[in-house]
Amino acid sequence: MSRGPIVLGIESSCDETGAGIVRDGQLLAHAVASSMDEHARFGGVVPEIAARAHLHSFNPVVRRALDQAGLRLSQIDALAVTTGPGLSGALQVGLAGAKSLAYAVGVPLYGVHHLAGHVAADTLEHGPLPGPSVVLIVSGGHTSLLLVRDLVREPILHLGDTLDDAAGECFDKVARVLGLPYPGGPAVDRAARDGDPRAVAFPRPLTRPGDDPYAFSFSGLKTAAARWAEQHRLRGEEPPVADGAAALQEAVADVLTRKAVAACRAHGVGTLVVVGGVAANSRVRALAEQRCAAAGVELRVPPLTLCTDNGAMIAAVGDLLVRSGAEPAPLGVSVDPSAPLEYAALQPGAAAGGTGAVPTEPPRTVNGGGTTAR
């Protein structure tokens, strides 16, 4: 039996430089370098620092992925790269590097939407997505409920999105108020282990009758947590951090999972997929499992290593695009730092009908799907 093309994926939308290699839906390798420690002293990601870190990490990360897979660059059949959304400078570094590699090897290049990559990450662990599936994307910059049928062939339907802060952003900001380190999500999760989730009655935003059933809002929750901490300090005492973290985490997990399971019921969908960095949160995972079991819904969550940003998820989308026969990116493909999620392929800034990376000779078809240079 013939085997499909080998796809190298590049991710550089924020503070992780990732390279992953996928073939026929199977993960062959992935490597990640994070500049998180460089940003921690500033309490958040500094775009210029992130872009410079990508410059330093790009080649070593690609080399590590190739070595892990036991491959040479010349054996890669296609490149996929995040073209948005994300930090402009960081995206530009990844795209420039991917274009250079595609040109050097003579293979096509595919632009990929970052959030579609998070969705595809689950397929590397659990196989193709059942259609349709409800997908909850929850991260530092995004919180969305989606209805996904065919990830690379059909438009992605948004059931609801955050109206203000994303869940991960709420964790980061409240963690800072509580004196916890950056990034806030893992710090809150650790602190919550020793706390009582019922100690503080934090609000559950947009869960009252008449509210949008699938929209999210975490700005008010963030403010409530900040005021709770402030009230303790006005009394001359430090807030009980473990209890505050546990109560905050419970409120976020409650809202996320309540709305996600409700969406599955309302749309007659039997599979919920939870992806993104906040999908690594222990309480989100546990409560999602509990509520899905009660509702008779299959829950799919990627392993922790594939929840945060990585190149494997971008390679997974590239692999699906190649095998579906999608057109590669035009030569002038650029980045879109604020691109909405409409399709898995994201190839902005160039006229349609381009041929992707410049091949050294005419490309050939591989197993009836996509193209690659000899």
Residue 2: per-residue pLDDT = 59
What crossing angle do the helices spanning 241-266 and 219-234 adopt, rounded to 10°? Answer: 160
Query: Maximum CA pair distance of the chain?
Result: 74
Residue 238: per-residue pLDDT = 96
Q: Quickly count helices (H) and strands (E) in the chain.
A: 12, 12
**Average of pLDDT values for 288-302?**
98
Supply 192's token pair. 């919550």
What crossing angle do the helices spanning 184-192 and 282-295 adopt, rounded to 10°? Answer: 70
Cα 38 from Cα 356, distance rounded (Å): 35
pLDDT, tens digit, for every residue of 245-255? 999 999 999 99
pLDDT, tens digit, for every residue of 34-50? 987 788 878 878 989 99
pTM for the whole structure: 0.91
Is the model's pLDDT at 368 over the cut of 60? no
pLDDT, tens digit, for every residue of 150-192? 999 999 999 999 999 999 999 999 999 999 999 999 999 999 9
pLDDT, tens digit, for every residue of 203-215? 999 999 999 999 9
Is the model's pLDDT at 363 over the cut of 70? no
Work out the pLDDT band at 8, boundaries 50, 70, 90: very high
